[in-house]
Amino acid sequence: MGILERIKLYISITESEDIIRRYFVNNTFDSALMTLGIIFGIHTTTSDPRIVIAATLGATVATFTSGMTSAYLSEVAEKKAQLKEIQDAMLTKLTKSLQVQASKTAPIIMAVVNGISPVIGAALIISPYILNIFGIIPATNIFIYSLLIALSILFFLGAFLGKVSNENIFLAGFRTILIALLTMAILFLLSYTKLL
């Protein structure tokens, strides 16, 4: 059995499909809006790409560490309880069974998804700034490119949720874009208060 098949089996045995999907969407959504806030906030004061990258990197490392550890600790506890319930119902210890392996492996898979998804979102959004640092693209419009990438990620997440709930994926995608626009409007108003 290949690694991917085994991962799928462990996820299925521990009934973690929904939780993993939620972790992925929630964290990518959080990181997309967080990065949008960082680049928007910094854009009002400076156009130095290194500051955007440093601020995003700091926030992303913190989100990654927090995402990995919090998901792992909480899921280990959940899966232990789930395994105990099954063992109690079966009136036997399921030693060396797939259930035991799955209950140990699933929290690791979930922690990785919870930790990595915000990193991917943030990395994609600040990629124009990174490309600019390496001299691959000019500094003009990198802010706009990042905004467009952030909006695209949010649209994709909304569309993905729309697909899950059998809704119109375009409407669902535009709904998340509206949330991003609302965030940007708040940041824009805040910029007038001289707080940004």
Partner 1 sequence: MPQAQTSSSLGQIKLPSKLKYIVLDILKPHRPNILKFAEELAYLHKTYSVNLKVIAVDEKTESVEIMIEGEELDYEKIEATISKLGGSVHSIDEVSVGPKIIYSKKLR
Beta-carbon contacts of 16 under 8 Å, excluding residues fewer than 6 positions away, are 75, 106, 109, 110
Stretch that binds partner 1, among 12-20, 50-58, 118-126, 139-147 (CB under 8 A): 12-20
- Distance, CA of 99 to CA of 110 (rounded, Å): 16
193, burial (CB in 10 Å: exposed 0-12, middle 13-18, buried 19+): exposed
94 binds partner 1 (CB under 8 A): yes
94, burial (CB in 10 Å: exposed 0-12, middle 13-18, buried 19+): middle
Q: For residues 7 and 94, which CB has a smaller minimum distance to partner 1 in the complex?
A: 94
Taking the complex as a whole, the smallest distance from the CB of residue 104 to partner 1 amounts, in Å, to 14
Interface map 69-88 toward partner 1 (x if CB under 8 A): ----------------xx--
Stretch that binds partner 1, among 10-18, 24-32, 171-179, 186-194 (CB under 8 A): 10-18
7 binds partner 1 (CB under 8 A): no
Which 3 state secondary structure label does DSSP give 134? coil
Taking the complex as a whole, the smallest distance from the CB of residue 142 to partner 1 amounts, in Å, to 48
97 binds partner 1 (CB under 8 A): yes
Residue among 54, 90, 148, 186 that touches partner 1 (CB under 8 A): 90
- Distance, CA of 133 to CA of 139 (rounded, Å): 9
12 binds partner 1 (CB under 8 A): yes
Q: Which amino acid belongs to residue 175?
A: R
Q: How many angstroms separate the Cα of 11 from the Cα of each of 19, 74, 149, 184, 195?
A: 10, 16, 30, 37, 45
Q: Which residue has the tokens 């709904």?
A: 175
Tell me how many residues contact partner 1 (CB under 8 A).
Answer: 15
164 binds partner 1 (CB under 8 A): no
Q: For residues 62 and 90, which CB has a smaller minimum distance to partner 1 in the complex?
A: 90
Residues that bind partner 1 (CB under 8 A): 9, 12-15, 85-86, 89-90, 92, 94, 96-99
